[in-house]
Structure 1
Amino acid sequence: MTAIQVRGLHKSYNGTVAVAGVDLDISEGEVFALLGPNGAGKTTTVEILEGHRRRDSGEVSVLGVDPGSATRAWRARIGIVLQTANDAAELTVRESVRHYAGYYPSPANPDEVIEQVGLTQKANTRVKALSGGQRRRLDVALGVVGRPELVFLDEPTTGFDPEARRQFWELIRTLAAGGTTVLLTTHYLDEAEALADRVAVIAGGRIVAEGTPATLGGRSTAKATVRWQGPDGPETVLTDTPTALVTQLSQGRELPELTVTRPSLEDTYLELIGEKR
């Protein structure tokens, strides 16, 4: 039931370490988000899993196959949505999706995929005439038209407006509900929180934390910040027991502008990669 298994993955470029011993386990049907700053080793790791880059050492299994020696049959089982892509700009959207569908043994209906990514009204438009966000939607369509068992999504919603992002999220949920495994890289932490079953943070070529979005880095058990407007101005208390504190403070009086917050996923992520807000 494991779609991706990685043990002791290493990769260097001219003596500079990019990946320094990454271990990963991603289950079938799971949406897994890999987060990390630029230069952390995220892209190199994903490219090795896709079979696009050779590793120096370590064990890697993707859908039961070593991607370093993968066959065409294995490639037909995965879908890849790259951060940038080259294509035939003179083709229409429909022609592009139908063309890519021809590479797979059992593709989805191209028109249904075009509808899923919100491009039905642009189906007869040439690719060169699409906006940046529309072009990105086409990238997604090309990545999923083959009915892949596993989809790699590299910054998939870059250039999307808020409505298009929500539509894309629904597409990913539909894929996952159908059993497709999704490995997502994104700089949008709200996207990771909305979509991912689990999240891993990579920094300095290593996985520094892994868990659900709610528990990553001890987030669920972190101290809560209780804020309210006191008679002499704003007051703030950091506490492990926010409910008890609020109950104690509120006896016999109102607490204007009361808020109780725990660290957001963004707060936790920035702390894990060693950056401050």
Structure 2
Amino acid sequence: MIRDEFPQTESAAKFTPLTGLVPLLPMALYPKDVLFIVMGSLNTIDRARIITETWLQWSEGNFFIFADVANDSIPFVTLPELRNKSSKWDGQHRQLLGSQWLIHNKSKLINSVKWFVFVDDDTWVNIPALLSYLRLFDHRLLLSIGYIWDNINVGGWAYFSGGAGIVFSHPAFMSVMPAIYTTTCPFKGLNDITFMHCQKQKGVTKINSDRFFYEKPHTLSEFRIVTPVSYVGYVTFHYVSNAQLARQMTCDTAAYWKRPIRGCDGVRHEYMLNHNI
């Protein structure tokens, strides 16, 4: 039974014996089931333009980019606590304060979302692969998913790579985010370290997945060449800030997963695998 498998999770403990009468996993997952919370910046506004013109189209508008300025054309959202605070260290607060703002001001949206995904503005996300992958997990449990650095950079800690993207189930998001900046979950200097500390405090299970990648796709190739086989099956890559590369990756992925996207007319798909999904 699920309570035996996940005894430490609050969400599992709330289930009753009748839970077994319904499927444990959802039968389908749709773009509106996932909300993307992006760290943006006026200094890197071109990155935001790239992601809104490429992979974020798959989100069907289900995203917020929190930045140090407001800009409706991107769109950027800012808050009084974030406005005109442009340093790298200031940026560590954008997704944290933004999430708390969403909980208080967008409750209807928050209640409708099953998964929350935190990414940087130079993270590339394969949303079709993400939706397929997340179907393997139950969004009702206290779960977080991403690429875990284990005893690297910060000795003695295992924490998610923020650039590779961090996924929270709805219960995990609602448990962790309101507690940040409290004595239970104080700010730890970096947002991914803060996440890690609060996840531990709240009993959130961390799942390591190499489908979330902390580097550029060419680093996976022995010859450092980017081809569709390098990325169409992955969920994320980091440091994808070149507009041409981001568009090629997105359009190749759209063709591979048969998820058409605007702006791909005329884009060639060389070395594309003949594969049906």
Structure with higher Rg: it is 1
TM-score bin, normalised by smaller chain: under 0.3
**TM-score, normalised by the number of residues in structure 2:** 0.26
TM-score normalised to structure 1 length: 0.26
Q: By percentage of residues, which structure has more strand?
A: 1
